[in-house]
Structure 1
Amino acid sequence: MILLVFAGRLVQIQVIDAPEYAAKAENLRLETVDIPTTRGDITDASGDPLALSVEARTVFVDPVAVRDDERERVIDELTARFDLDRAGVARKVDAEPGRYEVVAEKVAPDDWEALEELGLSGVGALDDYKRVYPDETGAADLVGFTGTDGHGLEGLEGVMDGTLAGEPGKQQVEMGAPGVQIPMAEGLAQEPVPGKDVRLTLDRDIQWHAGQALAERAEELDAAGGSAIVMRPDGEVLAMADYPTYDQSDYGDYSAEDRANGAVADAFEPGSTNKVITLAGALEDGLTTPERVYTVPYSVQIHDRRFKDDHFHETQKLTLNGILAQSSNVGTIKVGQQLGADRLHGYLREFGFGAPTGLDLPGENAGILAAPDEWWGTQLPSISFGQGLSVNAAQMASVYATVANGGVRVEPTLLAGTVGEDGGFQASEEPSRERVVSADTAAELTRMLEAVTGEHGTAESARIPNYRVAGKTGTANRVDPETGTYTDGHTAMFVGFAPADDPELVVQVVLHDPQDEYYGGEAAAPVFTDIMSFALKSEKVPPTGTEPPNIRLFGDG
């Protein structure tokens, strides 16, 4: 009877229930793991990397396969080689019946090979990828970084994560005796899909130089921050540098403020760089001409406020050319009064103020531009010369790019396109284009802006040998964002383009709260000259072949 019972039980186990027991036994040895995929690179326009993925390893332990006589050695080696907490490693080594306990991620292949040579039982590795950033690109604030899971957290890494990340695969693996994975042919559940490369319009060399020049001047003047942008007249951004910046590999050591992309995140009053819009509107509407003479006193009283020019002078006769070249606040107010609040507001909007740039960068501050029916008594004169509104550096760079582009505003662009697994390039959509002022008005503004760098202008330091340069200084009081009141600090700016007779490049420089020297012509113009000189050579732009025009700045009498 007993033998019959045993025989029946054996038949049940070995024949009737055999598939079920076999499946349970197999499942004890199986794990479902992700098959890592490559994250797409971020490159400049020439394909030079600003962020890329390199091969790495994920080191794991199979507790079941760790031999008792090697337990202490396994714990010691993993703890020491990866600088881990020994108690935490011990818990993973003892985590039976688990078969797959991750010990360290993003391990360099050489480091894994050195560990593998020890032949420790139960220790294995899976292929993985690590995100790295080439040193000294000057683009950290723009590019951003990824987290430990490989997904983008900030900057373009975050914004473009859906394009860059791809899709990891899924596969069942059987853990062999030494803890090494044995892929199962029938266990592949999902093929990995590599991420696409993102190609930017940036030039890595110009980006690097812009970052270096900006940082050097900011540190020299003990500035709180700053930004520098290099752009083509058609809106393509060649460089977008920021100060202060950070090391992407150790991003946790820096504050969110240090990591912010100030070129779009910091809003400030544009000061005298805004005067070009006031004059552009008056010229376009036929209200004035470059040669028209204005009587310009040192100061003027409007309602309860007295407006002054930066430096004292006797009442003088200035042409419209001279008002811009001398950066006269009082003269610009007179032009703004001709134009009126509604028309001035309209031109500010058409030049891109009060709206996002279209760059779609995280943390962008579109600035403040109140509707004209909200302007009170002194806002028209204030806004006409750059007070009472705020912009970011990319918005202001776009204004001068519009003038350099013959009066046509092209939405700024950073993304050239994407590159798929097959190497095929897919260009981004064409940016929007809109004519803001006529080609004739743009040409008149260009001649007037060229006088700013001339003998009687405010920015002789912006001259570049053998090239004609058009541009504008700007100096503005800083506003405390919490109280809305002016502080003792200043924002120094210079923005311009070259060659003035055939514009190829636009450069915008902003320095926040520089010490000792804070006028735009003194603090920011030298940085403009440095960056523009390098960019012209880098782009192989030939020297100007024409002489600057003779522009009349002063009226008779």
Structure 2
Amino acid sequence: MFDTTGLGSRRWRVFRFPRLDRPLFLPDLALLFIAFTFIVVLGRCGWLQIVEGDERLRRQQRETSRRAWRDARHGSIFTERGMVLARDVSRWKIAIDPSAASRIVIDGEPRASAPGRLSHAIDRVLEIEGVGWYAPLDVLRRRAVEGYRAGRQYLPLGVIAEGAHLANFNDRRKQLRTVFGREVLCDPEEFFVREYPLHDLAVQLVGNESLDREMGLYGIEARWHSTLEGRRGLRRTRTDATGAREFAGGVSSGVEPQMGKDLSLTLDVSAQWLLEDLLAETLERTRGTGVSGLVMDPRNGALLAAASVPKIVRGDLRRLFNAGLEEEARKLLFQGTRRVMEPGSVVKPLVLAAALESGISLEDTVDVNNEWKVIRNGRSSRTIRDTHLLEPRFRTVAGSVVKSSNIGIVEVGLRTGRSSIHDVFERLGFGARTGIDLLGEEVGSLKAVEDWSWYTLTSASFGYELGVTQLQMACAYCAIANGGFKVTPHLVRRVDGVRCDPAPGPRVLSATIASMVCQTLRDVVLEGTGSRLNEVIGLAGKTGTAMIASVGGYEEGAYISSFIGFAPWDDPQRLAMVVVERPQGRYYASEVAAPVVSELLGALLAAPGNRLEHSVDRALARPR
């Protein structure tokens, strides 16, 4: 099997493959097996390195890294003048690595136990100032020991709320690393919380975020959440072979979060403060179940202030929903877009506009000779009543609006016809959403014109058998005040500095008709149902007092009182509407709603002796 050949004085053993013409012995098989195995292993190694190398490297990186979402800073909400209504503020989570802390060096105690070293580390860490600790020292000690025994990767200790305190923390962290001989504290992890600097002012409009920041609950925060939230980032963190996180220099790569866009609102903070004060006083004075109000710029539909009382407090919505009180929670949101009501006499100027378009004159007379009148249509009839006898000089088409005569306006409606009145209602936005940039707007109700009976026509003439929201009614009056153009109410003026005003609306009334109705509404304040107002701003407007419908009819003694006004009447700058639901005692709109609008617009338009400055000062001083 082996030959030997002489080579100098040395003898060499030369391997020769066994001959195949004789039987193989066990040593031969072993050598063949070893050679074959070596070739296979070598080939496999080459295959792994050349063919599968990149894929296995990627797999190893995946298995020794962890990924976590990085919260994006949400956009801020400002007023047009730059006052902050909502913003994200940075916070930093502080945590300790129990495993690393259990192996620190303690001078003078080389044989200290792992729990003892961990407790010592906690004691030293809690000496750092500017951190809001989650629990007292003894509780954190216990949690740390429990976390160490359970093999937890890190233990949250507290939160840093200010950047100055973060700098102090990082300095102390470096000192502790030197003292302990290792890093025991994790890198501070930044997160964001939503802050509302003006607290609950305009809470129904600005809204609130959910605790997990995944959605807005109501208001601008809900409607514009996708714009405000931005895009989350991704953090990849290296880990050791056991999967434990390496806190020191552990962040290897990631995707940076993209900040959300800022919004600028049309909201006027001074008007909002004053409106909320007035509404709260009105609720207390009238002992009603609710009061809503709004202020708009009739020229472009900008919503400058809006509120309802009682109102929601941030954090209450979730509590009420969890308690099964969804309906009660919704009543605390802004009712101007949610509460559908029969408007009552505030609809009479719109009937007047339809009559004027049909060729009826303001000076045409109406047959009003008593406080009640039976209206007949073939075999059908109904009795219409007024609260007072109309004076002879007001027994005209215009006088029916100025003195708010139901008998007179029903006669005007019958002369005008259902098609004309329905057409004006539809053009002014009844039966359709206004398009405001808030969620939860109701559409109201307006029957198709072919479904209008004679009875419907007479009822609709003084504000019954149709349902509108407060905002729909205000928008209709904006068209009267601005010369006949429809407006789209809106709160958002700019997105990241870019104006996003809605397009100008179409003309829905002629300038002449709008002017004639404006003059009539001015007469309402001068010598009609609004004549008790002591106003000096050129106010025009209309009162409305409507019964509240219930199952089987109307509730006895239950009313909705409202007033819509704008000023100055010949060049309107501001429009306001106040609605009082179920006032107790005196319930006429001229007494419970009209004075509020007069005082509100008087303050906003700087009438002498107005209460605006005092109201703002008081609102700033009181706790919220």
Letter in 2 for 1:238: L
- Show the counterpart of 1:154: 218
Greater Cα offset, 144-153 or 242-251: 242-251
- Show the counterpart of 1:53: 88
- CA displacement 1:17-44 (0-9 Å, x = unmatched): 9999999998787432233321111122
Instruction: Specify which of 44, 52, 57 is matched with residue 79 of structure 2.
Output: 44
Deviation at 1:380, TM superposition (A): 0.7
Q: CA separation of 1:479/1:124 partners in 2, compared to 1, >3 Å: closer, same or farther?
A: farther
Helix, strand or coil: the match of 2:259? coil
The question of 1:171 aligning with 2:261 is answered no
Greater Cα offset, 62-71 or 135-144: 62-71
Greater Cα offset, 150-159 or 262-271: 150-159
The question of 1:390 aligning with 2:467 is answered yes
The question of 1:221 aligning with 2:273 is answered no
- Show the counterpart of 2:542: 472
Instruction: Specify which of 179, 204, 227 is matched with residue 141 of structure 1.
Output: 204
What's the TM-score, normalizing by structure 1? 0.82
- Contact kept in structure 2, 1:272 and 1:327, CA below 8 Å: yes
CA distance in 2, matches of 1:138, 1:350: 34
CA distance in 2, matches of 1:509, 1:317: 27
CA distance in 2, matches of 1:261, 1:95: 53
Q: CA separation of 1:304/1:150 partners in 2, compared to 1, >3 Å: closer, same or farther?
A: same
- Contact kept in structure 2, 1:121 and 1:179, CA below 8 Å: no
What's the TM-score, normalizing by structure 2? 0.74
Equivalences, count: 518
The question of 1:527 aligning with 2:608 is answered no
CA distance in 2, matches of 1:191, 1:130: 19
- Show the counterpart of 1:257: 330
- Contact kept in structure 2, 1:202 and 1:239, CA below 8 Å: yes
CA distance in 1, matches of 2:67, 2:531: 68
Task: Give me the identity figure in percent.
Answer: 30
CA distance in 2, matches of 1:311, 1:38: 62
Q: CA separation of 1:404/1:315 partners in 2, compared to 1, >3 Å: closer, same or farther?
A: closer
Helix, strand or coil: the match of 1:335? helix
The question of 1:453 aligning with 2:525 is answered yes
CA distance in 1, matches of 2:586, 2:246: 65
- Contact kept in structure 1, 2:437 and 2:492, CA below 8 Å: no
Q: Which has the higher contact order (CA 8 A, sep 6+)?
A: 1
CA distance in 1, matches of 2:274, 2:384: 39
Q: CA separation of 1:129/1:92 partners in 2, compared to 1, >3 Å: closer, same or farther?
A: farther
- CA displacement 1:519-539 (0-9 Å, x = unmatched): 11111111101211122139x
Helix, strand or coil: the match of 1:533? helix
**Aligned positions of 1:67-82 closer than 5 A:** 67=102, 68-69=115-116, 81-82=133-134
Helix, strand or coil: the match of 2:490? coil
- Contact kept in structure 2, 1:383 and 1:389, CA below 8 Å: yes
Deviation at 1:452, TM superposition (A): 0.9
Q: CA separation of 1:334/1:96 partners in 2, compared to 1, >3 Å: closer, same or farther?
A: same
**Aligned positions of 1:366-445 closer than 5 A:** 366-419=443-496, 425-445=497-517
CA distance in 1, matches of 2:92, 2:150: 23
- Show the counterpart of 2:356: 283
The question of 1:199 aligning with 2:264 is answered yes
- CA displacement 1:272-331 (0-9 Å, x = unmatched): 100011001001221x21222222132222335311112356888612221111011111
Deviation at 1:164, TM superposition (A): 0.1
CA distance in 1, matches of 2:184, 2:392: 91
Deviation at 1:179, TM superposition (A): 8.1
**Aligned positions of 1:96-107 closer than 5 A:** 99=153
CA distance in 1, matches of 2:66, 2:155: 11
Deviation at 1:355, TM superposition (A): 0.3
**Aligned positions of 1:114-133 closer than 5 A:** 121=184, 125-133=188-196
CA distance in 2, matches of 1:432, 1:450: 26
Deviation at 1:214, TM superposition (A): 1.2
CA distance in 1, matches of 2:398, 2:146: 76
Instruction: Specify which of 344, 364, 388 is matched with residue 292 of structure 1.
Output: 364
Q: CA separation of 1:365/1:469 partners in 2, compared to 1, >3 Å: closer, same or farther?
A: same
CA distance in 1, matches of 2:159, 2:579: 41
CA distance in 2, matches of 1:187, 1:92: 32
CA distance in 1, matches of 2:524, 2:480: 15
- Show the counterpart of 2:33: none
Q: CA separation of 1:437/1:59 partners in 2, compared to 1, >3 Å: closer, same or farther?
A: same
Instruction: Specify which of 238, 241, 246 is matched with residue 304 of structure 2.
Output: 238
CA distance in 2, matches of 1:70, 1:357: 67
CA distance in 1, matches of 2:557, 2:303: 33
CA distance in 2, matches of 1:70, 1:108: 30
CA distance in 2, matches of 1:242, 1:106: 37
Helix, strand or coil: the match of 1:435? coil
CA distance in 2, matches of 1:388, 1:54: 50
CA distance in 2, matches of 1:136, 1:53: 14
CA distance in 2, matches of 1:441, 1:323: 17
- Contact kept in structure 2, 1:461 and 1:525, CA below 8 Å: no
- Show the counterpart of 1:4: none
Deviation at 1:147, TM superposition (A): 1.1
Instruction: Structure 1: give runs of 5+ residues left out of the alignment.
Output: 1-7, 420-424, 542-557
Q: CA separation of 1:66/1:376 partners in 2, compared to 1, >3 Å: closer, same or farther?
A: farther
Q: CA separation of 1:22/1:355 partners in 2, compared to 1, >3 Å: closer, same or farther?
A: closer
Q: CA separation of 1:316/1:500 partners in 2, compared to 1, >3 Å: closer, same or farther?
A: closer
CA distance in 2, matches of 1:535, 1:230: 10
CA distance in 2, matches of 1:252, 1:461: 44
Letter in 1 for 2:347: N
- Contact kept in structure 1, 2:272 and 2:305, CA below 8 Å: yes
CA distance in 2, matches of 1:244, 1:347: 34
- Contact kept in structure 1, 2:237 and 2:251, CA below 8 Å: no
- Show the counterpart of 1:321: 398
- CA displacement 1:249-284 (0-9 Å, x = unmatched): 555455522442211011111111000110010012
- Contact kept in structure 2, 1:295 and 1:315, CA below 8 Å: no
Deviation at 1:517, TM superposition (A): 2.5
Query: Larger radius of gyration, structure 1 or 2?
Result: 2
CA distance in 1, matches of 2:316, 2:97: 31
Letter in 2 for 1:515: Q
